[in-house]
Chain A
Amino acid sequence: MTRSEFLAKHGFMAAAIISAAVTLAIFIFMALLGYPILTSGRLFAALLGAWQPTLQSYGILPMITGTFILAILAVAAAFPVCLGCAALVSDAAPGLVGRFLHAVVRMMTGIPTVVYGFVGIFVLVPLMREVFGRGSGFSLLTAALMLALLVSPTMILLFCDSFRRVTHSYRQAAAALGATTAQQFLYVVLPQARNGILAGVLLGLGRALGDTMIALMLAGNAVAFPDHLFDSARTLTAHIALIIAADFDSPEFRTLFLCGLTLYVLTTLLVLGVRLTMRLPGRRP
């Protein structure tokens, strides 16, 4: 082994160990600081109660619910559009249009979420208020629509990748049997790309769960349990951002670590889900 090979190998190894250790250290840090709550016997009250500081109740269930509704709604809204867009880019559109769309989607991945939030406040919030005529416009639905826009590049790019990986000879075989382009796509490409599509959805869900700015700026942040989509609601991430300025010794502040742990566990589960779906055997046509 030459010197440079040795350096490269151990350098990369060190980088890998450090990044893994930092991730683990964050988990341990949160677990340690959240320890008083985890062992106080009030864990269930904190996880399943309502947030009413005046009544000494610091439950984060409304925020957990808000996080889930918002993320699932955003991915559900984004899914059909993303699937269509990915199909157009990688399959249906002739060269130039497809390449242009692909470039636009890649550019979208780099837009900071605060920009989406800002546009949302001045365009989408008044629009939602006027169109539906109920609530202030700061609502789960408003945030979900903007969040759908945020997660769509991730989903589109993953969908495109999975469409491209479908073995070309399968399509040729289908074409030889007289299948049209649309039929090839529906009956050959889509079933073959199933795992990739699932992975894209899960990654999109992960991004939607973890985003802070859009929920903080557009969802309204009310601590009440959301009853319908036009209600103002708060996510775990927005809750952390709102409470972080509170007194370090306050019970509000201590529940933040519970929020952090919940988010950490949710994200870990999603990543595990992605890894598993990537490994599933592809369906044979």
Chain B
Amino acid sequence: MLHNSLKMLLILFLLIPLLLFASMPTSHADPLAAFEGMKGEIKISGGTAHIPVMKAAAKAIMTANPEVRISIAGGGSGVGIKQVGEGLVDIGNSGRQPTEGEVSKYGLKMFKWAIDGVAVVVHPKNGVTALTQAQLKEIFSGKISNWQRLGGPDKAINLYDRDAASGTRDVFWKKALDKGEVTDKANVVVSNGAMKAAISNDPYGIGYVSVGHIDDSVRAVALDGVVPTLESVVKGFYPVARGLFSNTKGDPDPLTQAFLDYLFSPAGQAIVRDSGFIPVK
């Protein structure tokens, strides 16, 4: 007992300086140095999927240079594009590529700094490891309602869907289901995390999460023979993916440009990876 608690204490003491070290800005090198001498405010709004990355980047930048203030709001992709187009914010985020109409109307410039794949997931003990898109559409429309028809046990399929405002749902519905029908009998969960919790607890469940959320608790199902991994999404083999965009109206001002440069820097792309998305560099 005593021995154990002493060991814990020792580990703690060893960890403290490590933690302090880790929480310091990793390097004062290139990306953050660009902000030196700058002051002003960057206003960001739009896509909610982007927010963790925006927050982490803003924290690093504002810690290095307190003269720069960055405000981050949500609202959704449509709101982000509209607000940046009307000049209300400096950066409007969107979880989809702005349409040609939007780009020409507002004179938008797009910056794609991450890719987000959406994978079909099942319980790790579920025997079904591959589906075709046709099967997937029939599952989500309720036409296939038993695992037996897919080579699994004689059990009803429990469907899990996301709420309509979800960007993950948007890309899944458009690209995996081809805008097909989703039965109103499907359970609805509120986040990628809740989806993972539901599927990892339900041996007969099927749902979908952002590729970055996949771990041992759920299994990603191959779609039309392609297993969704960071690599297959990056190479474009896995089709159910989308870019995460930051949009500006015309060319960004120097401060906004520095922020965007930071997102594309190794430090920024590390934040992207840590937030569960796929970096573009």
Which A residues are within 8 Å of any B CB, using their own CB? 50-54, 121-122, 125-126, 129, 134-138, 216-217, 220-224, 231-232, 234, 241-243, 245-247, 252
Q: Is the CB of A247 within 8 A of B202?
A: no
Instruction: Say how far A227's CB is from chain B's closest CB, in angstroms.
Output: 9
Q: Which of B76, B78, B158, B160 contacts A135 (CB 8 A)?
A: B158
Q: Is the CB of B165 within 8 A of A136?
A: no
Complex Cα spacing A53 to B197, Å: 27
Of the A-B pairs whose beta carbons lie under 8 Å apart in the complex, a sample of 28, sorted by A's number, is A126-B202, A129-B202, A135-B158, A136-B158, A136-B160, A136-B187, A136-B202, A136-B205, A137-B201, A137-B202, A138-B187, A221-B187, A221-B188, A221-B189, A222-B187, A222-B188, A224-B183, A231-B185, A232-B185, A241-B190, A242-B163, A242-B188, A245-B48, A245-B163, A245-B165, A246-B164, A247-B76, A247-B79
Complex Cα spacing A221 to B158, Å: 13
Q: Is the CB of B188 within 8 A of A243?
A: no
Q: Is the CB of A134 within 8 A of B156?
A: yes
Q: Is the CB of A222 within 8 A of B184?
A: yes
Whether A220 contacts B188 in the complex (CB less than 8 A), given A246-B165, A252-B164, comes out as yes
Contact-residue size bin, chain B (C-beta under 8 Å from the other chain): 20 to 34
B241 contacts which chain A residues (CB < 8 A)? none
B158 contacts which chain A residues (CB < 8 A)? 135-136, 138
Decide if B238 is an interface residue (CB 8 Å cutoff).
no
Instruction: Output the nearest chain A residue to B78 by Cβ-Cβ distance.
Output: A247
Instruction: Output the nearest chain A residue to B142 by Cβ-Cβ distance.
Output: A224
Q: Is the CB of B163 within 8 A of A243?
A: yes
B184 contacts which chain A residues (CB < 8 A)? 50-52, 222-224
In the A-B complex, list the 5 residue pairs whose CB atoms are closest, starting with the nearest: A136-B158, A221-B188, A245-B165, A224-B184, A220-B187
B189 contacts which chain A residues (CB < 8 A)? 221
Q: Is the CB of B164 within 8 A of A243?
A: yes
Complex Cα spacing A52 to B184, Å: 8
B201 contacts which chain A residues (CB < 8 A)? 121-122, 125-126, 137
Complex Cα spacing A138 to B78, Å: 32
Instruction: Say how far A105's CB is from chain B's closest CB, in angstroms.
Output: 30
Instruction: Say how far B200's CB is from chain A's closest CB, in angstroms.
Output: 10
Instruction: Output the nearest chain B residue to A62 by Cβ-Cβ distance.
Output: B184
Whether A224 contacts B185 in the complex (CB less than 8 A), given A121-B201, A136-B158, comes out as yes
Q: Is the CB of B190 within 8 A of A222?
A: no
Instruction: Say how far A10's CB is from chain B's closest CB, in angstroms.
Output: 41
Q: Is the CB of A234 within 8 A of B190?
A: no
A53 contacts which chain B residues (CB < 8 A)? 164
Taking A51-B184, A216-B190, A245-B76 as given, write out 13 further A-B residue pairs in contact, using a Cβ cutoff of 8 Å, ordered by the A residue number.
A50-B184, A54-B181, A125-B201, A126-B201, A135-B158, A136-B187, A221-B189, A222-B184, A222-B187, A224-B185, A246-B164, A247-B78, A247-B165
